[in-house]
Structures are given as C-alpha cells and as structure tokens.
Amino acid sequence: MEPHISGDDNTQESTQVSGVLASKTFLRTPTASPSGDFQNTTHQFVTLVSEGTSEENEPSSSNFDILKQVCEFGDSWVQKYPVPLSKYPQRPIRTGNLFYDGIIVDLELLGYRPLQIVAKARSGTVILAQNLHMLQHFQECETVPVALKLNSGKPRRNRPPSKTNMLDEMTIHRQLNHPNIVSWISNISYRGRVGTVMEFCENGTLEQVVKLQEARFLPETVARRYFKQIHSAIDYIHQEGFAHRDICPQNVLITQNNNVKICDFGHSVKFVSLDHLCEDECGSIGYQAPQMLEKVPYNPKVADVWSLGAMLYTICVGRLPLGTIRNDILENASKELKFPDSKILYVSQDLKWLLKGMLAYKPDMRFSMNRICHSLWICTEDKQVKIGNFYRVRQPQKSNEGTLETHVKEKLKI
C-alpha cells in the first residue's frame, strides 16, 4: 500500500442513530484527511456496528459487524489493519526460526491471537496480535492490537554477542514507564521460548516517515517536534540508570496520535556513576559513537548523546553525518562536522551549533542531556503549524472510487 501524508486527528466517538438503526450503536474510528488540511474527520471512517448493547447485554464479537464508510465523493476506504480484529484474515506466520515457529499455533492458549508479521530482524520477530485477555472490553480487544516480540533471532557468525539477554531486555523494558517509550504489557514464557507483549504503534518508524519525503529529510519544525519527545524519553532512561545504546530512526515508532515512542532495548545496559565503562560494540552502523568503533572503553550514556546527534542530523539533512563505511567514520570523526551548501539546503545556525556539540569527537566535550534540552534550537517555539507538518506511514487504502470523484477528475484532467 502506498503511504500518505495526513493530519493529526484521531479521536474516537460513539454515535447513536434513530429510525431503522435505532437499536444499533456506531463506534466510529476516524482516520483523518490524507492532505492534513482540515479538522473535519468525516472523509474516512471505519465503523463497528453493535446491536442491542446495554449494561445487561455486553458487546461481543457475535453482535458486531464492520461497516465501510464513504466520503462526499462516494469513494470507500478500508484500513491497513482491518477491524474488528476477530475478522482479520488468517495468514501463515513464519519467524525463520523453526524452534519458535512451533509455538505460533499455541499463542492463543497464552491469550494472544497472531495476525501477521510486522517486522523481522536478527534480534527477533515482531508479530501483530489480538489481545484475547481484553475480550470483556470488546472495543479495545477488537480495535487495539498489540505487538508480540519473540526472541527468534539468530546470532551472527564469527562475531561476539553484544546483544542483551532477552530476559534482561524484558526486565529493563518492564521498569520503564514514560509517554514516549513503547508501553510494556506483559512477558510470555512457553516451552523454552520467551517474548514480550507491548504496545503497537500503527504508523511505522521514523525511518519510514523520512523515506516518504522525496528529499529524504524533514523540515526543522517537524524534526524539532519529534526530537523533543525522543530527548525526553532518552533523558528519562538515563535518569533511571540505563543506557539505550541503539538509538536510530528504526527504533523510533510513530503512534496514531503522531507522537514518537522509543523501542528495542536489546542493547540496553544498567549504568550509573562509578560503574565500569563499556567495551563491547553494539548499535546500528552510522549511529555508533566513534569510541565504540575504536574499541576503547566508553560511557554508554555519553555514547547515546552521539547517537542522538547522528539521528537528528540524518532526519534534518537527509544523510548520516559520517556515512556508513567504518574507515570513513573513524577518519572523519575528529574533523569539523560538514553541512550541505546553504544554496542546496538551509540549516539554521542554532541547529548547526547543537549538532556540533552533540557530535563532538571527545566525550568530555560532548553536550550533556541538560545542555541539549536548554539549547536555543530546542527552546524555539513553533507558533504556526503548517500543512504537512504531521506524517503518517500507514493510511486507509481506497477500495472503490466514487462516480462523483471520477467525474471531477475527468473534468480537471487529473
């Protein structure tokens, strides 16, 4: 499905109707305008129709049905992740690890109905699932999926393991509670397999959002909005005595409310003052602090600051600050940070100053989280919100084009 740019509205409302449908309750889930230029959410709706719901008659999957809504042009839309989830089409799910594939059919016994694979990597597999524990709350069970991460990854050959043990990752994630961190729901353990159940963020990753743009970067106003939330989450993680060590756009998710949430604590470690410095190499190439590549002891929290700077540079400029070739990174890390020519891409002086401080080669010269928070670029308030400042990766897909829209397109020759 092609991604679209959209507005920032996502409220849900319950509507009572009269006449023939007087006995039915409509739970409408708006999906916003693709152009993002108006607040009227009547353009696209997916509706759950409930018959005879009351305090005596609790809603269940047997008395709900799905109803596609149409806009004024007569075209109809369907969700990327159809609701209700109980009617989600069954698809074969294979993690690539036969040991974990053996329990997929038994996940419903643990209270989670697998729907489809969302992401697959060396660290594991993330599966979209329905939380059957919420059956008594039909609306949440049928419209709010969860993400199930299974430890199905395979270790790389001839490379020492740097990834945190899955049990340690689950323990760390469970201790973190912040609006901009993916919410932990529960852990599962079944016949030697382990996994984590967490909040599902339906609008993809920050990396996908950046790739939607033709120039592969975001305006500073948009980047500032996202970065403030990312900084708040990482600062909280540091205050709780942990370091993330894998900060990159792939590990920043976008929620339906267009807020960002940090995920993947597979490389996180406990680190407080006077602890031994880390020596292992981990994280994503291009976002790793130079000291990590030089294989010298490093403070993981200070390394997180460098990774934050590399990510901010990437989403504002459209490329990594030092590239992805190991030798080039080591050669250029101590040199002055380069920016595109102002005739090609304008980067504000406040942002340049902030990036230079975050990407300083020497750890003791690198900005602290507190200094970043009080920098001029971060403290700048964007009083005007422009059209297109909010992005969505996954939008409803048009299933049928109305006759009025066809007529208008023919008339305007589009």
* Residue 64 and residue 76 in contact, taking contact as beta carbons nearer than 8 Å: no
User: Residues with Cβ < 8 Å from 344, sequence gap 6 or more?
Assistant: none
Measure CA 207 to chain center: 9
pTM: 0.77
**pLDDT tens, per residue, the chain with 414 residues:** 333 333 344 444 444 444 444 444 444 444 443 333 334 444 444 444 444 444 445 555 555 554 455 566 666 655 556 567 887 877 788 888 888 888 888 898 898 999 999 888 777 889 999 998 877 666 667 878 999 999 876 655 544 554 557 888 999 999 999 999 999 999 998 888 889 999 999 888 999 989 888 888 999 999 999 999 999 999 999 999 999 999 999 999 999 888 999 999 989 999 988 889 999 999 899 999 999 999 999 999 999 999 999 999 999 999 999 999 999 999 999 999 999 998 889 999 999 999 999 999 999 999 999 999 999 999 998 776 554 555 555 555 666 677 787 888 788 877
What number of other Cβ atoms are within 10 A of residue 36's Cβ?
Answer: 22
Question: Of 204, 99, 91, 92, whose CA–CA distance to 151 is shortest?
Answer: 99
341 labelled catalytic: no
Euclidean distance between CA atoms 414 and 410, whole angstroms? 7
Residue 47: per-residue pLDDT: 45
Whole-angstrom CA distances from 252 to 207, 219, 412 are 8, 18, 40
* Residue 332 and residue 322 in contact, taking contact as beta carbons nearer than 8 Å: yes
Euclidean distance between CA atoms 181 and 217, whole angstroms? 23
3-state SS class at 167? helix
Q: Which of 9, 75, 235, 246 is catalytic?
A: 246
Q: Domains of the chain by range and CATH? A: 1-79+395-414 (no CATH), 86-199 (3.30.200.20), 206-379 (1.10.510.10)
Residue 133: per-residue pLDDT: 84
Euclidean distance between CA atoms 267 and 247, whole angstroms? 10
Euclidean distance between CA atoms 56 and 35, whole angstroms? 42
